[in-house]
Chain A
Amino acid sequence: MKEKETGVREIAYPGQVLGDKKEFLPGVGTYEEDGKIISKFLGILTKSGNYVSVVPLSGVYIPKPGEHVIGIVTAVEKVGWVVDINSPWESFLSLSEAVDEFIDVKRVMLNRYYDEGDIIYAQIASAKRGDVQLSMRGPSCKKLKDGVLVKITPTKVPRLIGKEGSMINLIKEKTGTMIRVGQNGVVWISGEKVDKAIVAIKKIDEKSHIYGLTEEITKLLSD
């Protein structure tokens, strides 16, 4: 059995030569030059199979089609809604991607569906050259009510979710909360011990680079 690892995961920095093209394949967060695989980011070094990758420890959210995000409606327009998705780019939810029934936009005010300040769980429909379109067609897409939002580093979302949802389920269970996590680093929490859940989520954001995080969170939530 593999010995349990403790301490800090291996950190790579931009420009660090990670290996030779003859031995490894370049994974995410790397680039190739003169047969060498080089890190693009300050991040956690991971090797899986022949791939060498670097998962950045910080950075903004870059929308990718199909991903689910949590956004805040910032403006109601004639044919849809402008939504802040915690990304450098604003996104747009068009009427046709939001409502199934036919709507006469001359007669109906769109804020009866989504109004300024509303929080939505939506899917990225397309993202090209900073033009981001959302959709509410997916089965899990919905308006989120009466919750609290917390932001974490978007690149740390996989860590918050954990293997097959293990980490997030742990938090939900121990705090009696409902939680939704957007790939954009926005987390919605509602229920009993919201404050405790927030503490745990922030801890994961800060400590994603250490081994044994699950144990630490379990301990934190049991206190």
Chain B
Amino acid sequence: MAKIKGIELIKDGKRLDGRKPFETREVEMKVGIIPNANGSAMVRFGKTTAIAAVYGPRLLLPKHLQEMDKAIIQCRYNMAPFSTDERIKPGTSRRELEISKVVRLALEPVLFLENYPKTTIDVYVEIIQADGSTRVTSVNAASLALADAGIPMKDLVVALSGGKINGQLILDLNGIEDNNSEADVPMAFMPNKKHITLLQMDGELKHEEISKLINEMFKAGEIIYKKQIEALKNRYSE
């Protein structure tokens, strides 16, 4: 299906915000921003800002949801009413429900849950400003919040988006690119072994374009990974 055409999103190799195709926006990460939570983090890609909080492990109720030998993960992705141009009415949309699920699945493979029978680890993500790539921003924030909460993890989870605009493959789509792209591919992976834990795609791409994008996302992911490590260490600086 062809998306809205006619918007020139890339000119002389530069995107509307001046970025090169495989350049990410300015990335900011901060760990430990919510004193009440067991773990928390803020991650910003350009204007897109996600705040994640982890509560737990805590006893899961009602009882019939409990697993006898491990914790379960519950995840909620939510957009603040003022996060986009048009106000979002409070309440969960189908889109938010789906994203909540893929974010949870992106995190689950890295967690050691067996020490926490009958409990839940609740991961809440609030998008306080949205300008594209909100789900991958959420995954980065949740990865940091889980580490901050002292949950045992195999690895961190790094996430970013790729896509295609005006026939050119790009990384880290902003809002206008997201809305007018020929394809967008959000991805999350465990940096140590490059195991992919989230992969979605919308649009039209050839197989080799997908492979090329994934490789570029692995490369740029290294920078995001370093940012995560830095943010975790900064939590305990002075």
Contacts and interface: CB of A to CB of B under 8 A. Distances in A.
Determine whether A and B are in direct contact in the complex, meaning some CB atoms lie less than 8 angstroms apart.
yes
Interface of A: 8, 11, 13-15, 17, 29, 31, 33, 38, 40-43, 56-60, 62, 88-90, 129-130, 155, 209-210
A62 to B, nearest CB: 6
B56 A88 contact: yes
Contact of B154 (A8, A40, A57): A40
B118 A89 contact: yes
A42 B118 contact: no
B36 interface: no
Given A59-B149, A129-B118, A13 B58 contact: no
A129 B69 contact: yes
Contacts, number: 91
B147 A13 contact: yes
Given A42-B147, A59-B150, A88-B59, A129 B156 contact: no
Given A15-B192, A43-B150, 18 more contacts: A8-B236, A8-B238, A11-B233, A11-B236, A13-B233, A15-B153, A38-B154, A38-B155, A41-B150, A56-B150, A57-B236, A59-B38, A59-B149, A60-B38, A60-B56, A88-B56, A88-B59, A129-B118
Nearest to B151: A59
A60 B150 contact: yes
B161 interface: no
B148 interface: yes
Interface in B106-140: 110, 112, 115-119
In order of increasing CB-CB distance, the 3 nearest A-B pairs are A59-B150, A15-B155, A14-B153
Contacts of A40: 112, 152-154
